[in-house]
């Protein structure tokens, strides 16, 4: 991988950093300028030079503070990663490779502090300061947008990272019991009266939101109107006894505890479950949603922790062929073009692949589906009636 940061991101960041340093220097100058103006005209020449020496010292400290966040002078550095639940298996393979690379190039050990959980809940903890993430790798862009709106991430986060900050992808999979006794083959089949669905809660989980959008899009992206879509998803959620807090809990209930007739999960999660539980049949629907997982630096926290340089390098590494191959081994759909071409034949083709933008974009999705009293709350009330 090229050792240099992504050019567009680096350029924007350098400008932001220069402005920060200018502002720090301006504040220092403002504090001492009034005293120096008065003293210069009235004090002895020796005192004039003494004050100039003091000013130079202050400015040197300010410059050192500006540049300090980029040096790797300590023997070790801690990097805090907050991610969504199902990425742990991938990061367990990727992080040691990055640690080895950084040690070799910078003679500095990187210690990762990792946290995994439901994406919506993880973002809420970052916003609340419960988890001071340097880097977030979350299930959907909306969660990063929420952190940005809280003032922790600068608005340029998508421009500073390749692929609009999408570092991993997946699609939705429908998993059934052995022999598929309920005959579930399509999205429509999930709404049958005798089907028990294991699904996650959109209020706490990224997969819960992607499921909701997949259900909706399976109707609206196939010629159906919104009334038909609302009727369909009301029946679907009526088949759910309880919503799990995240994708990992849903998978454990279905695979480990044998609850439910059908599970909607990430394509990559099916692959991981097959390694730890019985292999179960699944289908990748022809009409499907592109599940785009973003990564971002939490600007406020990396500035506080002085970890920006290593955080940027880690994100760059996530886009490398080496890291993207690790994602691909776990059935994520890679975003690195070289790796995408290498593994394209491993994935089932999809006839209609729609995105969040096709459903109106994240701002509209938030207001239309997820806010209090919006579509999800309404259909939850109707489905439990």
Residues paired with residue 264 on neighbouring β-strands, in sequence order? 174
- Using DSSP's 3-state secondary structure scheme, residue 29 falls into helix
In sequence order, the 6+-apart residues with CB closer than 8 A to the CB of 89 are 272, 330
Residue 39 host element (H or E): helix 7-42
- 3-class SS letters over 218-278: HHHCCCCCHHHHHHHHHHHHHCCCCEECCHHHHHHHHHHCCCCCEEEEEHHHHHHHHHHCC
283-302 core/surface letters (b: 16 or more CB in 10 A; e: else)? bebebbbbbbbbbbbbbbbb
What's the pLDDT score for residue 385? 60
86 contacts 269 by C-beta, under 8 angstroms: yes
361 conformational bin, left if phi > 0, alpha if psi -120 to 50, beta if neither = left
Centre a 10 Å sphere on the Cβ of residue 254 and count the other Cβ atoms it contains: 25
Per-residue pLDDT at 13: 42
Q: Report which DSSP code applies to 109.
A: E
Q: Which tokens in the block code for residue 41?
A: 């005209």
Per the CB < 8 A criterion, the answer to whether 283 and 349 are in contact is no
Q: What is the DSSP string of 154-202?
A: -TTTTTTSGGGGEEEEE-EEEEE-TT-TT---STGGGGSTT--EEEE-T
Neighbouring CB atoms inside 10 A of 231's CB total: 15
pLDDT for residue 248: 85
Mean pLDDT by 10 residues, the chain (385 residues): 43 46 50 49 52 48 44 84 94 98 97 95 97 97 97 96 96 96 96 95 92 98 97 96 89 92 92 74 96 98 98 98 97 96 94 96 96 94 66
Residue by residue, what is the 3-state secondary structure of 67-106? HHCCCCCCCEEEEEEEEEHHHHHHHHHHHHHHHHHHHHHH
Element at 114 (helix H, strand E) = strand 109-117
């Amino acid at each position: 991988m090229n050792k240099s940061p992504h050019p567009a991101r680096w350029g924007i960041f350098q400008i932001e950093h220069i402005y920060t340093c200018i502002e720090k220097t301006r504040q220092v100058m403002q504090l001492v300028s009034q005293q120096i103006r008065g003293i210069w005209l009235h004090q002895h020449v020796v005192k004039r030079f003494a004050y100039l020496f003091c000013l130079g010292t202050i400015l040197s400290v300010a410059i050192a503070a500006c540049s300090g966040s980029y040096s790797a002078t300590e023997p070790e550095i801690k990097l805090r990663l907050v991610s969504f639940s199902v990425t742990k298996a991938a990061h367990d393979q990727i992080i040691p490779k990055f640690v080895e690379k950084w040690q070799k190039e910078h003679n500095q050990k990187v210690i990762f502090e990792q946290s995994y959980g439901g994406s919506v809940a993880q973002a809420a903890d970052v916003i609340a300061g419960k988890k001071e993430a340097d880097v977030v790798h979350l299930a959907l862009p909306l969660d990063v947008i929420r952190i940005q709106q809280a003032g922790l991430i600068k608005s340029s986060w998508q421009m500073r990272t390749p692929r609009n900050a999408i570092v991993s992808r997946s699609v939705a999979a429908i998993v059934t019991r052995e022999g598929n006794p309920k005959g579930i083959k399509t999205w429509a089949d999930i709404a049958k009266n005798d089907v028990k669905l294991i699904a996650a809660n959109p209020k706490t989980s990224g997969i819960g939101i992607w499921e909701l959008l997949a259900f909706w899009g399976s109707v609206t992206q196939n010629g159906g109107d919104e009334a038909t879509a609302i009727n369909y998803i009301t029946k679907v959620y009526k088949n759910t006894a309880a919503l799990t807090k995240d994708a990992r809990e849903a998978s454990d209930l279905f695979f480990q505890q044998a609850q439910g007739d059908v599970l909607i999960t990430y394509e990559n999660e099916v692959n991981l479950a097959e390694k730890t539980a019985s292999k179960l049949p699944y289908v990748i629907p022809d009409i499907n949603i592109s599940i785009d997982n973003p990564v971002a630096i939490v600007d406020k926290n990396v500035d506080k922790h002085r970890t920006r340089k290593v955080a940027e390098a880690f994100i760059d590494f996530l886009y490398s062929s080496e890291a993207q191959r690790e994602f691909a081994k776990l059935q994520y759909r890679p975003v690195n073009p070289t790796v995408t071409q290498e593994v394209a034949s491993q994935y089932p083709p999809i006839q209609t692949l729609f995105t969040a933008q096709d459903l109106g974009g994240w701002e509209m999705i938030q207001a239309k589906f997820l806010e209090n009293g919006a579509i999800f709350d309404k259909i939850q009330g109707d489905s439990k009636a």
